[in-house]
Structures are given as C-alpha cells and as structure tokens.
Amino acid sequence: MDFQNRVGSKPGAGGMMTSSESNVARRERLRKLALETIDIESDPYFMRNHLGSYECKLCLTLHNNEGSYLAHTQGKKHQTNLARRAALEAKDKEHAAPARAAASAPRVKKNVVKIGRPGYKVTKVRDSRTRQFGLLVEVTYPEVTEETKPRHRFMSAYEQHVEVPNRQYQYLLFAAEPYETIAFKIQSREIDMRPGRFWTYWDKDTHKFTLQFFYRNQTRQHQHDSNAYQQQQQQQQHSQVNPLNPYILTGNEPHQ
C-alpha cells in the first residue's frame, strides 16, 4: 500500500495504520506469500464450484477467491480438521494392519498321510406320502479322532476335473482326515432342503456318518396333494346330512 500519499500525511513520511488496515495488509501479504510457495491445485480439499467460487471439502466452507481459501487453510478450523482427519486415518491403519498381516501370511499346509477310502453303503429310498425319491448314504470312518467330524457338500459337474462335465449329473462329496475324499455321482436335480427332507447324523460311538436327502418333485407332490384334497371334498359331500330328514344323507336320497 502507498502510505506516503494518504490524506493527512506529510510528504516523505509513512503514516500510522489503523488496526483494520493492518489486518488487511497482513492478509494480503500472507496471500501473496502463499501463492508463491503453495501449489493450490495439489490440495485435495480445494474445489471450484459451478458458480466460480472456491470450496473447502474438509471444512465445507465457501470462499470468493484463492486468497481467501489460502487464508482459511492457515486458520485454526482447517488445521483442527486436518489433525482430526489424520488421527482417524492412523486409527484405521492400526485396525487394518492385523487383518492385512493375517491375510498375507502364508498358509501352512498339513501333511496328512491318507490311509485309503472309507467304507460306505448307499440305499435308494422313497417317501410313500409325497412320492419323492432319494438316497440314504452311510459312510464309516473307524480311524478318525474324536475331534474330527466328517464334512459333505454338493458339487456341480463343472467344478471337477476328473470326468468330462455332464450337466445331467452332480457329485456328493464326503471328507474326513486321514481318509481320502470320496464322491458319489447322482442326478442333477434340485435337492429338497426342507426340515425332515434333508438330515445328517454323526455317530461318535460307531464312527458312522449318515446322510439322507430327497429330490424335490413339486409337480408330482402338487398333483398328489390335489388328488387327496378332491377325495376329502367328495367324502364331505357324501357325508352331509339332509336338513329335512336327518336320517337320510344327501348323497343317498332315494329317487322318486
């Protein structure tokens, strides 16, 4: 600012600034210094909006020019938010470090000596009420430990690499150390997983694992249920009492 040519000042002498003028001069000096030393485009919280103004994404403040934004970055509010953000990021890194270390740690592969295949028995079953077909599989593991429990799962034909995939079949796998994993090739039909239709049992005394399942057959089951409902309705119709003569049933009235 030109302090020599102000009103009331003598030529060649600098006049005294008021407090407001001193603040304006200080902000202008800081703005010029910041523009020379700080690259505002690299600030991750600096943003230009569609109105031509500038915003601070960290503090959610609005500024008319770059100098105002730079002055804001040197203020207490912006510095406090920066410290708070750095503390949150450090805390997140501390929590993520153990999980990342566990994920990057190499898995130790167990060297288990396989002793052969277990004994098994497969029986075809059929529910007389729902007309559903299924299988009862019994697998015996006499050499497993007390802590070991056999596992099972269904596998599609496209997951295995032993045979040529056939979409008409799927595989039922059983596994328990130290025995080899065995698989049964069954029809690729939907399994009925409702309670009572699918169940498993592990007998620790005899070391026998039992699994029973039924194939879902909605068409036949719906047809059977509808036939049973029709028979029930017919029986009710034949057993209705004639209101005019309670000793004669409506279905057995004599023809006149």
- What pLDDT shows up at residue 254? 47
pTM to 2 decimal places: 0.45
Average pLDDT over residues 110-120: 81
Strands (E), the chain: 46-48, 54-56, 61-63, 119-126, 133-140, 151-156, 169-175, 182-187, 191-192, 199-203, 208-215
- What pLDDT shows up at residue 122? 94
Q: Count of H helices and E strands in the chain? A: 4, 11
Q: Tens digit of pLDDT for each residue in 177-200?
A: 889 999 999 999 999 888 888 999
Q: Tens digit of pLDDT for each residue in 65-111?
A: 887 888 888 888 999 999 999 999 888 888 877 766 666 666 666 66
If one compares 171 and 228, the residue with the highest pLDDT of the two is 171
Average pLDDT over residues 41-48: 86
- What pLDDT shows up at residue 255? 47
